[in-house]
Structure 1
Amino acid sequence: MKKSLLIFYVLLAYALMEMFWWGLVIVRLKPDRMSMLMGEGAVFLFLLCVGGYFIHKSIKKEDKMHEQQQNFLLSVTHELKSPLAAIKLSLQTIIKRDLDKQKQNELLGNSLKDIERLDDMVENMLLATRIENRSYSYPKEEFDLSELVLRITDRLQIHSCGCEQIIKTHIERGIPVFADKFALSSVVTNLVENAVKYSGPCAEVYVELTRKDGHTVLKVADKGPGIPDNEKMLIFDKFYRVGNENVRKTKGTGLGLFIVKEVVQSHDADIIVKDNAPQGAIFEVTFS
């Protein structure tokens, strides 16, 4: 991309020099046409600058997209290798060592969680591709959203901090919705996983599902570093991730919030991002 920009600048400079050169030649041959040349030259220069600006902007955008895709591939590779390595280690431990039943069940349980994590990531990539290609139809049905949120939060619950639960919930029972169950499962999963991922070790994540003024409201709050105001809308772009790619420590592919935004919009719902006090972010989805 840098080579393309260099070629573009060289061609632009060449075009400008040619314009001024031929303008001087014509003025020398026909001085009486100088005013006409000045007017036409100004229009041509304006159009050339406008065209150059948009071409430059397009090349930079393509360069940024290429960089994001490269980071996406690196992130996916890392995201795939980590759970696969953990599953392999657990199975090798079970095979090579004479473990008691409890320890075997613990290792198998951890392996199942890693498999679910891989499954979620693959489903995310497939869903994002189908959404972008406009080939996903969002088949809708009536179901209990409360049960869905409870099931997902229970599956994503982390018990590595003693007996204390990481995900705190306040979920009103029996809230029905007419929606795409699979797509909304992806929305809830992505929001909760992001909250857990960006919060500190053993930091509390809060998930709330309520009915307010005739609307169903899903709220996911974390105590992570928060999101700067100038990035609150950018985070829903495909492959976009908060912070500098070179120093970022959190895992992710940059697809989760893109899927969340697309699914929410397809259900005529709204999503807003707010600051959490004293730190962190709150994602609030409102269904009509």
Structure 2
Amino acid sequence: MTVVDGQHALGVFSFSNEVDEATVVEGFQAELDEAKIAEGKRLEEKYGYSFRDTRQQKHLQEFLRRSLWIVGFSCVLLLFIWRKEQLTQRRLRLEMLNLSDRFEEEQRRNEVLLNRKKSEEENVKAVITDIAHQLKTPIASLKMSMEIAGSEEFSPEERRKFWEQGSSQIDKLDLMLDSLVRLSHLEAELISLKPQAYSIQALLSEVINSLIMKALDKEMEIEVEIPKDCLVAVDRKWTVEAISNILENAIKYAPKGTRILVKGTCLPSYALIEVLDEGDGIPIDEVNLIYRRFYRGNDPHVLENEGSGVGLYLARKIIEEQGGVILMKNRHPHGACFQITIPLDLSDGEELGAEE
């Protein structure tokens, strides 16, 4: 029952002399009448009675309040659940993106490792093939020499010559195996290059001192030019080995009695080391081949000298592993010039000899 309906019913009661059930029913079912509504409102104000204070009305108001509270709480709860679901979905999307990135990174890493493994397998096969090829000739020669040296069908002089030849082949095998051990250790990364600050003057002095007797045996003169000393960032032991291989080749293949010049020049960011000899130089078509494993060319003068063919290969690998470069240029009219660049050690921001 609304307030207007209540007021209308009171108006009906006031206009009736007798109030009975039919009249009450009629009052509640009759059409709305403005006069009766006004009369009901007057009586309501006169006697202080209101349908708002009825027990049913209070129950209805309580019900509406609870309903509104429940609806409001439900909306807040749904909003909280929705927000939590949004955050959960966002977190899941971020986790999926992270997992996707990690998966792609692992996939790229696996591809790199797989390619490296294939490359290493191919490299191992190539090394084994090269070693087998290089060892085949001296072993066959050694076997024949030993058989002849131990045979009674040849004279003592002939047997002695073959014995000496066999000993020479053993020396070649020893030299080759020593080179192969160093090469295999370096390629298999069993040896780690550890660059440290080292004087270029001390570096070249160590190289020359290790080979001076071989130069004297060939009546060769080694001249050194180092206008200014400086610090280079190198692994001393392996860098000495690399430069020694180049200088040893110059001593081995240049004519007897000639001169070898070793120069050390300090430039703004690197040092330049040059080894210049007075030999026959290197044919143009072999310049890009001399750094291959076991390559010795076709020059009879080169082939008649002992060598394993890995010296320049090792030298280039050692220098490049330390951020340097090695180049070869033919000189005019005779000789070869090997140029090596090595990074300077700039950790202190100064070079040796900067203060004079």
Q: Would the TM-score normalized by the shorter structure come out above 0.5?
A: yes
2:259 aligned residue: 204
Q: Give, in whole Å, the separation in 2 of the partners of 1:168 and 1:77.
A: 41
2:247 aligned residue: 192
Displacement after TM superposition at 1:267 (Å): 1.0
Q: Does 1:286 align with 2:341?
A: yes
Q: Secondary structure of 1:235's match? A: coil
Work out whether residues 275 and 281 of structure 1, in 8 Å CA contact, stay in contact via their aligned partners in 2.
yes
Q: Does 1:166 align with 2:229?
A: no
Larger Rg over CA atoms: 2
Q: Secondary structure of 2:273's match? A: strand
Work out whether residues 179 and 267 of structure 1, in 8 Å CA contact, stay in contact via their aligned partners in 2.
yes
Cα 1:77–1:123 shift into 2, 3 Å: farther
Q: Secondary structure of 2:290's match? A: helix
Q: Give, in whole Å, the separation in 2 of the partners of 1:75 and 1:174.
A: 44
Cα 1:77–1:193 shift into 2, 3 Å: farther
Q: Secondary structure of 1:224's match? A: coil
Normalised to the residue count of structure 1, the TM-score between the two structures is: 0.56
Cα 1:247–1:266 shift into 2, 3 Å: closer
Cα 1:247–1:156 shift into 2, 3 Å: closer
1:155 aligned residue: 210
1:140 aligned residue: 195
Displacement after TM superposition at 1:277 (Å): 1.7
5+ residue gaps, structure 2? 1-124, 142-172, 344-356
Displacement after TM superposition at 1:259 (Å): 0.6
Per-residue displacement from partner, 1:111-168 (whole Å, max 9, x unpaired)? xxxxxxx99977643321112223221122222221121122133122246xx75211
Displacement after TM superposition at 1:66 (Å): 4.3
Q: Give, in whole Å, the separation in 1 of the partners of 2:282 and 2:259.
A: 17
2:315 aligned residue: 260
Cα 1:193–1:140 shift into 2, 3 Å: same
2:304 aligned residue: 249
Per-residue displacement from partner, 1:206-235 (whole Å, max 9, x unpaired)? 111111343200101111121112211211
Q: Does 1:229 align with 2:284?
A: yes
Q: Secondary structure of 2:183's match? A: helix
**Superposed, which structure 2 residues align to 1:52-71 within 5 Å?**
66=129, 69-71=132-134
Q: Give, in whole Å, the separation in 2 of the partners of 1:169 and 1:146.
A: 10
Work out whether residues 128 and 259 of structure 1, in 8 Å CA contact, stay in contact via their aligned partners in 2.
yes
Q: Give, in whole Å, the separation in 2 of the partners of 1:231 and 1:218.
A: 22
Q: Which moved more, 1:260-269 or 1:210-219?
A: 210-219
Q: Does 1:219 align with 2:274?
A: yes
Displacement after TM superposition at 1:282 (Å): 0.8
Cα 1:268–1:198 shift into 2, 3 Å: same
What letter corresponds to residue 151 of structure 1 in structure 2? E
Cα 1:143–1:165 shift into 2, 3 Å: same
1:9 aligned residue: none
Cα 1:70–1:148 shift into 2, 3 Å: same
Cα 1:286–1:144 shift into 2, 3 Å: same
Q: Does 1:271 align with 2:326?
A: yes
Q: Give, in whole Å, the separation in 1 of the partners of 2:139 and 2:272.
A: 32
Cα 1:219–1:63 shift into 2, 3 Å: closer
The percent identity for this pair of structures is 24
What letter corresponds to residue 71 of structure 1 in structure 2? Q
Displacement after TM superposition at 1:171 (Å): 2.4
Normalised to the residue count of structure 2, the TM-score between the two structures is: 0.46
Q: Give, in whole Å, the separation in 1 of the partners of 2:263 and 2:310.
A: 23
What letter corresponds to residue 187 of structure 2 in structure 1? E
Matched length: 187
What letter corresponds to residue 134 of structure 2 in structure 1? N
Q: Give, in whole Å, the separation in 1 of the partners of 2:242 and 2:330.
A: 20
5+ residue gaps, structure 1? 1-61, 79-117
What letter corresponds to residue 159 of structure 1 in structure 2? L
Q: Give, in whole Å, the separation in 2 of the partners of 1:216 and 1:73.
A: 41
Q: Give, in whole Å, the separation in 1 of the partners of 2:207 and 2:199.
A: 13
Cα 1:188–1:247 shift into 2, 3 Å: closer
Work out whether residues 264 and 271 of structure 1, in 8 Å CA contact, stay in contact via their aligned partners in 2.
yes
Q: Give, in whole Å, the separation in 2 of the partners of 1:287 and 1:181.
A: 12
Displacement after TM superposition at 1:287 (Å): 2.0
